[in-house]
Amino acid sequence: MSKVGAREAPVLGRISVSEIYGPVVQGEGAVIGKPTVFVRTGGCDYRCSWCDTKFAVLPQYRETWKKMTTEEVFAEVRGLSRGRPILVTLSGGNPALQPLGPLVSLGKEHGYGFAIETQGTVARDWFSDLDHLTVSPKPPSSGMETDWGKLSRCLRAGGEDTRATLKVVVFDETDYAYAREVGYRFPEVPVYLQVGNDRPPSPETDDTTEPDDKGLLHRYAWLADKVLADGWNEATVLPQLHVLVWGNSRGV
């Protein structure tokens, strides 16, 4: 397996933004079903084999990313939500590489909530201001390796009022064994298991690649059966709801 070292972004400066969209219903993780506006940042320190957002990861798409101020990003979020406070999901790429602390502070002043999903390679002080901290370590099928020390630091960076959870994508038996190890290492943190999409969109075709819905449901049944047979009653097993409902379309 390969491992790409974390490249930390400057604490100050503009935010590299791939896209801002919503409101949509969150399709995965601990806040599944929750209305949210997405702020997807550009840039990532991983290169997962099954990445479904390569347009926000690979450097050849950097010219499509905007460099935006905190105020510009929040203005778009407020416009999309029509000025009504909503949960803002910080995604990527790896949003922890971006200087998002001021955005979280500004949004909170106006009643907005904030959630992040990050692979757990870079811990930030502003994690303590988040409402939801989802750390999603990548399983063996991704081709990445886990630095358990960095992962632990990311989880500890959450505040007293931050709901920290772990989310692991599972494609096969090896990924499932990895998810069990994650659960053993961090027994105090809720674990969400998510079925992997083996037909992710490519940057070139965007939403024209259709997911294998039957395959996703079959894999979900397999994963649920595994969890039940093992008596892993603390785990939560989820599909990628947005993929089943809207396919691989962007902005949903």
Domain residue limits, the chain: 15-246
Tokens 């949509």 belong to 24
- What number of CA atoms fall less than 13 Å from residue 172's CA on the CB side? 5
Angle between helices 70-80 and 101-109 (to 10 degrees): 50
Average pLDDT over residues 211-225: 82
Q: Higher confidence at residue 85 or residue 7? A: 85
The per-residue pLDDT of the chain, averaged, comes to: 88
pLDDT tens readout for residues 29-70 = 899 889 999 999 999 999 999 998 899 999 999 999 999 999
Length of the chain: 252
Question: In this structure, what token pair is assigned to residue 211?
Answer: 């997911």
3-state class (DSSP) for residue 209: coil
Bridge partners of residue 40, in order along the sequence? 19, 91
Dihedral (CA of 11, 109, 91, 28) sign:
positive
Buried b (16+ CB within 10 A) or exposed e, 212-237: eeeebeebbeebbebbeeeebeebbb
DSSP 8-state assignment for residue 250: T
> Residue 240 has what pLDDT?
75
Q: Are 18 and 75 in contact (CB under 8 A)?
A: no
> Residue 35 has what pLDDT?
96
Least confident of 88-102, 154-168, 211-225, 237-251: 237-251
CATH topology of domain 15-246: TIM Barrel (3.20.20)
> Residue 28 has what pLDDT?
85
Contacts of 14 (CB under 8 A, 6+ apart): 67, 68, 69, 99
Pairing mode of beta strands 113-118, 87-91? parallel
Bridge partners of residue 25, in order along the sequence? 35
pLDDT tens readout for residues 92-137 = 999 999 999 999 999 999 999 999 999 999 999 999 999 999 999 9
